[in-house]
């Protein structure tokens, strides 16, 4: 009896939240994002047809995976399975994690043992950009590298790579931050990134106030970087709350996000919505995680206590 050998590769990506600078980063302003240990696994197997979770691969249901395969895969058909702890459309980077883990798994199938982070992050950004029509490399770089990542206009210490797209230039750095506990609050309302990014774009194009707000968010992120360097949790928290107010004035908050941010105000250093907004999650910085989580729950959200994850994308089985 002959045995058929199928090659199977499993790649796992962390999720992420944005600590400072979402939306503004799309216009080249700085941002700081944190990888978290919510795993998204892609299981890729050589197969007779391209499928995702048993369904024929198609643009409508699997835009990111299809684009990754179309642009970066030269081999035969692959069956992809997604096993994810990352809630979708919640601001925690599920599309970036799918893209990054898919590309890593494909590279594994092609015989690569070690992930080359820079090349992978750049390909993942191109996939996200082409699916969403507009994006920054924040989510894809954070899921690739893990840890904490800072995007800046200029190269500085601990530079990882540089991404140029149209008029924008982002220098992506590894950032060390003080030991801190964050609590996420999920509104369980879906926020669609491309819709929120397009909404801010329309406002930016017609309003000087919106353009000024984007610049102010950029300045806050630079200040936050200094506060992180000093381990000044009080200053970081205050800047988070200020950043939230600017995001609200851009029109990307909603009632539930406001409710959750308000609910944690007396238990945390500061809080803000995180990611594209319009639903999704908020994040609080606190040294009383249990009480903060309870306050989120009492206000109708789903809390999750998280710590930054050291691990970026990796191949766990080949
Ligand atoms: C989404 O997680 C973050 C945004 O800034 C979009 C992006 O950076 O691509 C809203």
SS (H, E, C) 170-233: EEEEEECCCCCEEEEEECCCCCCHHHHHHHHHHHHHHCHHHHHHHHHHHHHHHHHHHHHHHCCH
Residue 101 has pLDDT above 60, yes or no: yes
Nearest CA to ligand 1 atom 2: 275
Query: Which of 21, 276, 280, 281 to mutate to test ligand 1, by most ligand atoms within 8 A of the CB atom?
Result: 276
Answer yes or no: is pLDDT of 2 > 50.
Answer: no
Q: Which of 268, 269, 254 is nearest to 300 (CA)?
A: 254
pLDDT at residue 54 tops 80: yes
- Average pLDDT in the 78-95 region? 94
Mutate to test the pocket of ligand 1, among 94, 95, 132, 135 (most ligand atoms within 8 A of CB): 135
143-187 pLDDT per residue, tens: 999 999 999 999 999 999 999 999 999 999 999 999 899 999 999
- What is the structure's pLDDT at 89? 86
205 CA distance to ligand 1 centroid (A)?
18
Burial of 35 (0-12, 13-18, 19+ CB in 10 A): buried
* Residue of 16, 26, 131 to mutate, ligand 1, most atoms within 8 A of C-beta: 26
User: Ligand 1: which atom is nearest the Cα of residue 252?
Assistant: 10
Q: Provide the 3-class DSSP secondary structure of residue 318.
A: coil
Q: How remote is the CA of residue 46 from the centroid of ligand 1, in Å? A: 33
Name the token pair of 252: 């990307």
- Distance between CA atoms of residues 312 and 89, nearest Å: 21
Show the tokens assigned to 126. 């191109």
Reported as a single tens digit per residue, the pLDDT across 30-45 is 999 999 999 999 999 9
CA of 33, closest atom in ligand 1: 2
Distance (Å, rounded) from C-alpha 15 to C-alpha 101? 11
What is the band of 6 on the pLDDT scale with cuts at 50, 70, 90? low
If you average pLDDT over residues 184-195, what whole number do you get?
94
Gap from CA of 59 to ligand 1 centroid (Å): 21
Residue with tokens 């992420």: 16
**Phi, psi at 155, each rounded to 5°:** -75, 140
> From the alpha carbon of 22, which atom of ligand 1 is closest?
5
Structure tokens at 91: 């601001």
Strand intervals (E) in the chain? 8-20, 31-46, 51-52, 55-56, 78-84, 148-152, 159-165, 168-175, 181-186, 270-274, 281-286, 302-306, 314-317
Find, among 22, 24, 27, the residue nearest to 167 by Cα. Answer: 27
**What are 231-277's pLDDT values in tens digits?**
999 999 999 999 999 999 999 999 999 999 999 999 999 999 999 99
Residue 212: CB atoms within 10 Å: 11
For residue 76, the model assigns a pLDDT of: 96
Q: What is the pLDDT of residue 225?
A: 97
Residues involved in catalysis: 139
Ligand 1: centre distance to CA 272 (Å): 15
Average pLDDT over residues 99-118: 95
Q: What's the gap in Å between 25 CA and the centre of ligand 1? A: 7
What radius of gyration, in Å, describes the C-alpha atoms of the chain?
A: 19
SS3 307: coil
Which stretch of DSSP H or E encloses residue 298?
A: helix 289-298
Pocket of ligand 1 (CB under 6 A): 18, 22-23, 25-26, 91, 135-136, 138-139, 193, 197, 275-276
Contact 14, 84 (CB under 8 A): no
- Which one, of 179, 251, 182, 234, lies nearest residue 17 by Cα? 182
- Percent of residues, the chain, with pLDDT higher than 70: 98
CA distances from 300 to 186, 197, 251, 293 (A): 9, 26, 22, 11
Give the number of C-alpha atoms closer than 13 A to the C-alpha of residue 8, restricted to the C-beta side. 10
């Amino acid at each position: 009896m002959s045995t058929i050998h199928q090659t199977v590769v499993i790649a796992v990506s962390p999720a992420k939240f944005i600590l400072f600078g979402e939306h503004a980063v799309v216009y080249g302003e700085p941002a700081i994002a944190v990888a978290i240990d919510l795993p998204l696994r892609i299981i890729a197997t050589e197969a007779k047809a391209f499928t995702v979770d048993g369904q024929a691969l198609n643009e409508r249901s699997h835009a990111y995976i299809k684009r990754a395969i179309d642009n970066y895969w030269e081999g035969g058909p692959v069956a992809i399975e997604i096993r994810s702890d990352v809630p979708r459309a919640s601001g925690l980077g599920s599309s970036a994690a799918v893209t990054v883990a898919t590309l890593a798994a494909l590279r594994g199938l092609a015989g690569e043992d070690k992930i080359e982070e820079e090349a992978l992050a750049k390909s993942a950004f191109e996939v996200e950009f082409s699916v969403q029509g507009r994006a920054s490399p924040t989510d894809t770089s954070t899921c690739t590298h893990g840890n904490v990542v800072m995007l800046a206009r200029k190269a500085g210490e601990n530079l990882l790579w540089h991404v140029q797209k149209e008029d924008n230039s982002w220098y992506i750095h590894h950032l060390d931050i003080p030991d801190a506990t964050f609590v996420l609050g999920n509104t369980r309302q879906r926020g669609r990134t491309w819709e929120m990014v397009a909404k801010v774009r329309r406002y930016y194009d017609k309003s000087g106030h919106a353009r000024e707000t984007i610049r102010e968010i950029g300045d806050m992120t630079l200040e936050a970087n200094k506060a992180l360097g000093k381990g000044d949790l009080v200053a970081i928290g205050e800047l988070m709350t200020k950043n939230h107010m600017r995001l609200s004035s851009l029109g990307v908050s909603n009632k539930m996000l406001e409710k959750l941010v308000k609910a944690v105000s007396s238990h945390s250093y500061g809080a803000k919505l995180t990611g594209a907004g319009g639903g999704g999650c908020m994040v609080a910085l606190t040294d009383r995680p249990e009480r903060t989580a309870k306050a989120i729950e009492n206000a109708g959200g789903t809390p999750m206590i998280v710590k930054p994850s050291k691990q970026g994308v990796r191949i766990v089985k080949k």
